[in-house]
Amino acid sequence: MLVLAIESSCDDTGVAVVEDGRRVLSNRVSSQIEVHRKYGGVVPELASRRHIETIIPVIRAALEEAQTTLDDIDGVAVTCGPGLVGSLLVGLSVAKSIAYGKGKPWVGVTHIDGHLCAPFLEREDLVFPFLGLVVSGGHTSLYRVEGVGRTHLLGKTRDDAAGEVFDKVAKVLGLGYPGGPIIDRMSKPGNPRTIRFPRALLSSRTLDFSFSGLKTSVVNYLKAHPLQEGQEDRLVGIVSGFQEAVVDALVRKTKQAARQHRFERIVVSGGVASNSHLRRTFEEMARAEDLEVFFPSPELCTDNAAMIGVVGYHYLQKGWTSTLSLNAFANLPIPLEAQLTGSFTKDADN
Ligand code: KG4
Ligand code: ZN
């Protein structure tokens, strides 16, 4: 089954062609970093306008690379939420139009299920159930994942997402946008223990995260000890200490969740999961805890449509399709009624 997948929930226009939910025939991403760089973050109105300009050329390029056409695809999968509603609506409208025009089945998929299922594109040995950590610019959440789309929230950030604090701290330090990859690169020669920033909510009573205090403590540290021109080593010390604090909080909470819920395997996905220090630290923890850890490769960690194609394939194969009344949703949980009042047609058990 060939699925054309479309992802436009934030600032990347992604289109992929995925075969049988496993094989990526094409996975095109048109990045909007240049549009948003000067603002130090995504400007929703500019994002949706750029999606409108790029989506058709990206679809053409993805079909061409996969050496297929709209007539040959078997179905369409599209992100319907969570995300920026204006951005989501572009992908959703195009998906509906293709499906209606070509008489193909189509289905709405949540962005989170996409991130959690991305490893299936590369690893045949991943099986359910697993503990899923989605850590990106918009999300930092832990899930019990029992099947494709059978995703139960265990804990989430109470304030900022981890990627958001990477971007904000980079902005405060004048390092550029997006901050995550820049801080990752800069921290490589640094000593993460030169400056110890606080970690919040480490008590065993919750599986939630909190990162806004960390961001504030970096700002306060800089006020108390201003950075002078040419103090490169100090700057590297600050970003390494900050990165260590984020990674430590993520790894400890995930370890706690794995122990409490007796998981044997973990999936770590989303943009921040491409962080090299995070990957190393998770691997060490997994070895010590006798857990298996699965990371998608970096280009499948950040937003892309191939991951939406994995979920879409499984839904379409079960006969689950969406109707034209399906709307875009900014937040999770996507209301159940959207799945029951005709948006999804279930003719198979999940
Ligand atoms: O998954 P993603 O592409 O979009 C969202 O769904 O949010 O994640 C983007 C986020 C940005 O905040 C970016 O700074 C962060 O992922 N990111 C990283 C790295 N690469 C991307 N954070 C830390 N280290 C990285 N190497
Ligand atoms: Zn994402």
Label residue 203 by pLDDT band (50, 70, 90).
Answer: confident
Give the DSSP letter of residue 149.
Answer: T
| Max CA pair span of the chain | 64
For residue 350, name the pLDDT band (cuts at 50, 70, 90). Answer: very low
Ligand found nearest the CA of 163 = 1
CA of 269 to the centre of ligand 2 (A): 9
- Here the contacts of 186-189 (C-beta below 8 Å, separation 24 or greater) are 186/235, 186/236, 186/239, 186/240, 187/236, 187/239, 187/240, 187/243, 187/277, 188/276, 189/236
List, for residues 173-194, the tens digit of each pLDDT value: 999 989 999 999 999 998 898 8
pLDDT averaged over every residue in the chain: 93
Handedness of CA 253, 255, 260, 261 (dihedral sign): positive
In angstroms, the Cα distances linking 311 to 64, 135, 253 are 22, 19, 27
Percent of the chain, pLDDT > 90?
86
* Section 146-167 average pLDDT: 95
Q: Which residues line ligand 1 (CB under 6 A)?
A: 10, 136-138, 163, 166-167, 178-181, 184, 270-272, 274-275, 302-303
pLDDT tens for residues 204-246? 789 999 999 999 999 999 999 999 888 999 999 999 999 999 9
pLDDT of residue 334: 73
What's the confidence (pLDDT) of residue 346? 46
Asked if 191 and 237 count as a contact pair (C-beta separation under 8 A), the reply is yes
Asked if the peptide bond before residue 82 counts as cis, ω within 30 degrees of 0, the response is yes
82-136 residue pLDDT tens = 999 999 999 999 999 999 999 999 999 999 999 999 999 999 999 999 999 999 9
Q: Is 99 left (phi over 0), alpha (psi -120 to 50) or beta?
A: alpha
Q: Please determine, for residue 43, whether its predicted confidence score (pLDDT) is greater than 90.
A: yes
Residue 348: the pLDDT is: 36
Q: CA–CA separation, 4 vs 1, rounded Å?
A: 10
Give me the amino acid identity at 54.
T
Distances (CA, A) of 228 to 73, 186, 234, 331: 58, 17, 9, 42
Q: Residue 223 C-alpha to ligand 2 middle, in angstroms? A: 32
Q: Which residues surround ligand 2, an ion (CB under 5 A)?
A: 136, 303
Rounded percentage of the chain residues whose pLDDT exceeds 70: 95
Which pLDDT does position 342 carry in this prediction? 45
**79-88 confidence digits (pLDDT tens):** 999 999 999 9
Instruction: Tell how far the Cα of 86 is from the centroid of ligand 1, in angstroms.
Output: 20
